[in-house]
Structure 1
């Protein structure tokens, strides 16, 4: 069958769709993948070994200068809804019409559509064309249930919290959704979570079952498929001789990366590097710190700290003592798959959810927030990592190693089309 996929976001939003597209193509389908990257043009040269047709649209959506401004505004706001509104207005809105036009073309030529849960242009295009639509959730924080809520309050409050959460999310998201629905003559949506984020045809929670526990009140159309992983791709870097030498030269280091939330402008990147570098020194650990251009910021590698622009996480993380990261979905699951404890420094509310989940599993300590954490506090969290966290992380990784999220997702999609 002809299957069209569309995603938007940063590397953590794109990599799972590359993996799923490859899996569907290898299963015999004719697959097209549309990519819109918020902060990079690095995907312009990405190709598929299996033959997936890849198109990159409106990328990057924002400049490095805009990214610095938006990032600071997000960190300055403690309101998750204001954070989401800012991301929509500045990082999604400018590309929305281009993505919708491409989505309508994709819907016209495809038998089935598969979209990032945030990708309302594709959901609307699929509905308008009368084609089945699969939603892919990269976090289980967005799934309503009487048994759980991201705030982690006693269960008795969950129904009310989700009622309120859905109202507030709808208030922020519906103007974008309904503007496009009106363009093609569809009635306005009444609940964005139910009508866009969760597909009644099939919704895939692309999270390891070790982290995402299926709740009793989830519909049968919502399935946990597991982490959509794939081999390292070129833009993720390689295991260089310098990196290999550093890893072999002493005690396992702590890997530090804030992923797509790492500032690229010199001023904010320098401040970011000062935080991580000082934290590593105060913690007394060797460290690998990932950033865009340490040299331009005046930082030089030595025997204790190595600065890298990119590295293959699946090769490096297993050789580290722990990982300090931002709590992005991809980095979180790469860390747990490598069997390493985490120190999560969250930038937005979704990342706070991941940090709390890792703490619940016993593979991370107390959550830190980027807006307020100091080098001294971050160092204390690194030093607070206990041997039992490593034991627990090893057990979780062993269980995750038996999973194949891509194969499970492909099987679920194939079953849905019978």
Structure 2
């Protein structure tokens, strides 16, 4: 089959789709992955057929942070810009996906991918990193972790309905413009004759979902055997007890320097050593010391198992990597699906209660760090969960589903 994967997300959200693309290629399928242009070099470096959508995701993240974009709320000033960019991306995607037998994408890729697939007359596969895509009483809403668990099925139904509305309503204007101005389709999408195929790159050990859902296990990249840690990082790791690892990925705060100071003070107060991953967050105004090592990034699969605990923002990809490593997570959610994953980690007993970014303090972070490195029961639960996740092969399971369910490739 010829499959086009649309991955419009931050690096942590693109990486699972890159892993799935690699698995499909190894199974003999032709795969093209479409992602923001700042990821093209990274993806082609893995040997993937990767093509760019105009625009950089790091620029989009900074613009969204400045506009306080969160979840399903699109600030008024960004709406017209979003429509115009989507029209451009739809034209690019229509060209890139020509000749495909199926188009695949998650929340970000589905905004354009569903309509482009309809124009091409091929199936669209919903491939999610979160338990979304249906209104169900069987699981809570990803964007409504604040609904109490004691509300049960009713709370789940309300929460999932709110989540689905938040993920679709803001983009209806985009879809209508793309369909009429680029794709020559009717203004509104028609109801599909049968339920579309959906895959979930999630572990059943982490998320409870209906048995009919295709929860395959997480989609992890294979180890990059060409990567070697900097000598200074290895020296730091070997110089004392295992450190905690701290990084907020693509989350960009209003004052990165203040965040860096808060982190270093909390590390000192908790009496731990730390590796600080600066990522896109701009926490660069901090120097390596005896207790804190500063680095832009390092493979999570290599670094996290060497840590005593991981402090992160709760993005789907980072959460998966931390859980697989089998160490406690301290989650500082910033928005969107991150509070959901933060609550799941606390509910599973593999991390302390979430620390929302808006109320984060030196004292609260230091207390959470202390709990994560000293609570033996928490550490045991995290280790056992990591073992279970490592036994899953989400890539193989996803490839098997796609090969079995999708129609055979059309002749060239």
Provide TM-score, normalisation by structure 2: 0.87
**Counterparts of 1:339 and 1:369, CA distance in 2:** 23
- Deviation string 1:97-119 (CA, Å, 9 cap, x unpaired) is 23211222234311111122322
Q: For residues 75 and 11 of structure 2, what CA distance do their matches in structure 1 show? A: 21
- Indicate which of 28, 52, 75 corresponds to 2:48: 52
The number of residue pairs the alignment matches comes to: 394
* Equivalence for 1:416: 405
CA displacement, residues 29-74 of structure 1 (integer Å, 9 cap, x when unaligned): 111111116xxx253353255x5321122131563xx744532543
The answer to whether the Cα contact below 8 Å between 1:68 and 1:268 also exists between their aligned partners in 2 is no
Question: Tell me, what secondary structure is at the counterpart of 2:188?
Answer: coil
Aligned match for 2:214, one of 199, 223, 233: 223
Alpha-carbon offset, residue 390 of structure 1 = 0.8
Please say if residues 11 and 39 of structure 2, whose CA atoms lie closer than 8 Å, have aligned partners that are also in contact. Answer: no
- CA RMSD of superposed structures (Å): 2.9
CA distance in 2, matches of 1:90, 1:327: 30
Is the 1:141–1:149 contact (alpha carbons within 8 Å) kept by the matching residues of 2?
no
Give 1:163 deviation, angstroms.
3.9
Is residue 339 of structure 2 the alignment partner of residue 349 of structure 1?
no
Q: Are 2:297 and 1:299 aligned?
A: no
Given that residues 238 and 312 in structure 1 are in contact (C-alpha distance below 8 angstroms), is that contact kept between their aligned partners in structure 2? Answer: no
Q: CA offsets, 1:150-189, max 9 Å, x none?
A: 3343123333444444445443221122221233222414
Find out whether 1:388 has 2:377 as its counterpart: yes
For the structure 1 residues 370 and 246, does the alpha-carbon distance in structure 2 shift closer, same or farther, using more than 3 Å as the test?
A: same
Question: Is 1:212 equivalent to 2:211 in the alignment?
Answer: no
Unaligned segments of structure 1, at least 5 residues: none
Check conservation: 1:237, 1:311, Cα contact below 8 A.
no
**Normalised TM-score (structure 1):** 0.85
Partner of 1:99: 89
For 1:32 and 1:162, locate their aligned partners in 2 and report how far apart those are by CA, in whole Å.
32
1:294-323 C-alpha deviation (Å, 9 max, x unpaired): 999542212111111111211111111100
Give the C-alpha shift of residue 88 in structure 1: 7.3
Q: Is the contact made by 2:94 and 2:116 (CA closer than 8 Å) also made in structure 1?
A: yes
Instruction: Please name the residue that 1:70 is paired with.
Output: 64
TM-aligned CA deviation for residue 255 of structure 1: 0.3
Aligned to 2:236: 246
CA contact (8 A) 1:344 1:355 kept: yes
| 267-276 or 246-255, which deviates more | 267-276
Aligned equivalent of 1:147, options 138, 146, 154: 138
Partner of 2:117: 126
What are the equivalent positions in structure 2 for 1:82-93 lying under 5 Å apart? 82=73, 89=79, 93=83
Given that 2:249 and 2:312 are in contact with CA atoms closer than 8 Å, whether structure 1 keeps it comes out as: yes
